[in-house]
Amino acid sequence: MRLTTLRITSTRTAAARVDRTRLTLLPFPDVGTLVTTGEAWQDRAAAPGEVLTRTTPRRTPGRSPPGSSPSPRCT
């Protein structure tokens, strides 16, 4: 089972289960919160939820596009 944290809006994130081209939203703000809910977190991660179909991935603002030079880091 693959899990991810999605940015839903500029102020909201959600844990989601990844199934090929579908994402199922889970009722947790992020994957870290989900896995710290106790021993049966896998059952909670397998639960039904709102399904989103992945079509075109959106880039996160401020990140370089694939294949470009990474932004400089402070040292």
Question: What is the pLDDT at residue 20?
Answer: 83
Tell whether 72 is covered by a domain: no
63 lies in some domain: no
In a domain, 64, yes or no: no
Q: What is the DSSP string of 9-68?
A: SSS-EEEEEEETTEEEE-SSSSHHHHHTT-TTHHHHHTS---EEE--SPPPPTTSPPTTS
Q: Is the pLDDT of residue 61 over 70?
A: no
As for how many domains the chain has, the answer is 1
pTM of full prediction above 0.85 = no
Average pLDDT over residues 20-30: 92
In this structure, is residue 68 part of a structural domain? Answer: no
Query: Would 13 be classed as within a structural domain?
Result: yes
Q: Which domain holds residue 30?
A: 2-53
Residue 39 forms part of a structural domain: yes
Question: Is residue 5 over pLDDT 90?
Answer: yes
pLDDT at 53: 80
Mean pLDDT, range 30-43, rounded to an integer:
95
